[in-house]
Amino acid sequence: MGTTDPTRSTRQTYHKKQLEIQAERVDDLDHSAAHDWEALPDWARKAYDLGNILFLSGGVEVRTLEGVMRGDRADWIIQGLQGEIYPCKPDIFAATYDPVTADSTP
The whole-number pLDDT of residue 7 equals 67
**Confidence (pLDDT) at 106:** 56
Q: What is the pTM of this model?
A: 0.79
Torsion of CA 69, 71, 77, 83, to 10 degrees: 20
Give me the mean pLDDT over the 90-95 stretch.
95
Q: How far is CA 41 from the centre of its chain?
A: 13
DSSP state of 5: -
- For the chain, the average pLDDT equals 89
pLDDT (tens digit, 9 = 90+) per residue, 61-92? 999 989 999 999 999 999 998 999 999 999 99
- Nearest CA-CA partner of 84 in 23, 34, 39, 15: 23
Residue 103: what pLDDT?
Answer: 72
